[in-house]
Chains A and B, each alone.
Chain A
Amino acid sequence: MDRVPLERKVLSENDRIAAELRARFQEHGVLCLNLISSPGSGKTSLLERTLEILPRHDRVAVLTGDIQTENDANRLKRFHFPVKQITTGGTCHLDARMIERHLADWPLEDLDLLFIENVGNLVCPSSYDLGEAAKVVVLSVTEGEDKPLKYPSIFFKSDLMVLNKIDLLPYVPFDITAAAENARKVHPGMEIVKVSCLTGNGLHEWMVWLGERRRAHKSLVQQTVS
């Protein structure tokens, strides 16, 4: 009997493609963000509000994943930015190969910012690197403040938590302080913005975070090039 060390990632093929994507994003100065949440937390609403605010000439595109339907792409196409739907047909997450395939006919040199809206699922998408610069987790106040403790992986791996639907706080028993504490228990120092995609409340903080990320990414890319 021989024991052979393997010592590599289980998802090494996905990680290989993700690394290639990351290198391409870097080469073209594209900031890629991977948005993850349960179904119905408001990923698409957040993107709608974001695309509504961004100037028309901005170099932004969206890949949006779902198991079935083109519904989300149709919602997002109204803002005249390039949008493509990825329907997985049953798979509960996006993987790097799906991103590679759907980006094939998009010239990355025309983009500065790429949003990937993952399939609504708080568990599986956290295992798959898509070549993004950062994961953003969206949690809504109707879901319960203990979600970060119950589904730690995605809160651990995300740079930012967007707490959505704060307009509903007067109507639901949601402890916003405990939610933030729980997120920071899993991910010490995690950044959090509180928004209502319905009223627009708090979106300014989200746009500030986004703007800062874009600037930081741009200067990082410039440093790498020079």
Chain B
Amino acid sequence: MHEMGIANSVLEAVRTEMRRYPGSYPCKVAVRIGEMAAIDQDALRFCFEAIIQETDLASLELAIEFCPRRHRCQGCGREFVVHDYDSRCPRCASLETTCISGDELELAYLEVEEYGSSTVGAKSTQ
């Protein structure tokens, strides 16, 4: 269970990034989690919500983009998603395939909003 550490790192990255945007606040942070990254998405969400509670970032949304394991065939160049650990090329049946993604633990993007903008007003009246 290291999702708390991961959640903390995400939040630290948000705070660091927000120094570049005075007068704005972060609405959403998106991360990419690979199938092979050994991260439990539910645990990450739980930890993230726990650490932002009752802070200035309590409304910050966490978006998780799941990245399946993908391989590229060394023979025919086909790129494909690996299901059930079957890394055989679906086009030419070669076993000589290389993993090209699925190991992600990355920050993708941050959505920021200026204080006092119309969306804030809309949000507070909802």
Contact = CB atoms under 8 A, between A and B. Distances in A.
- A, B: real partners: yes
Interface string A175-211: 0000000000110100000000000000000000000
Interface in A125-150: 126-128, 149
A104 interface: no
A3 B110 contact: yes
Contacts of B107: 6-10
Contacts of B5: 91, 95
A188 B105 contact: no
Contacts of A13: 9, 12
Which residue, of A2, A7, A95, A128, has the highest number of chain B Cβ atoms within 10 A?
A2
Given A1-B119, A10-B6, A11-B9, A149 B85 contact: yes
Contacts of A93: 2
Contacts of A107: none
Interface of A: 1-14, 91-93, 95, 123-124, 126-128, 149, 151-154, 156-157, 185-186, 188
Nearest to B87: A188
Nearest to B14: A6
A36 to B, nearest CB: 11
Given A10-B9, A124-B2, A126-B38, A186 B106 contact: no
Given A92-B1, A93-B2, A7 B108 contact: yes
Interface of B: 1-2, 5-6, 9-10, 12-13, 17, 21, 24, 27, 29, 31, 36-39, 85-87, 95, 97, 99, 103, 105-113, 117, 119
A156 B9 contact: no
Which residue, of B29, B103, B119, has the highest number of chain A Cβ atoms within 10 A?
B103
A185 to B, nearest CB: 4
Contacts of A9: 105-107
Given A6-B13, A153-B36, A153-B37, A188 B95 contact: yes
Nearest to A156: B36
Contacts of B17: 4, 6
28 contacts: A1-B111, A1-B112, A1-B113, A2-B111, A2-B112, A3-B111, A4-B17, A6-B13, A6-B29, A7-B108, A7-B109, A8-B106, A8-B107, A10-B105, A10-B106, A11-B6, A11-B9, A13-B12, A14-B9, A92-B1, A95-B5, A124-B1, A127-B2, A127-B6, A153-B38, A156-B36, A156-B103, A186-B85
B38 A12 contact: no
A223 B24 CA distance: 51
Contacts of B29: 6
B51 to A, nearest CB: 14
A186 B17 CA distance: 36
Contact of A3 (B6, B37, B97, B109): B109
A211 B21 CA distance: 53
Contacts of A186: 85
A80 B91 CA distance: 56
Given A124-B1, A127-B105, A152-B85, 17 more contacts: A1-B27, A2-B112, A6-B13, A6-B106, A7-B109, A8-B107, A9-B105, A10-B31, A11-B9, A12-B13, A91-B5, A93-B2, A124-B38, A126-B38, A153-B36, A156-B36, A156-B103
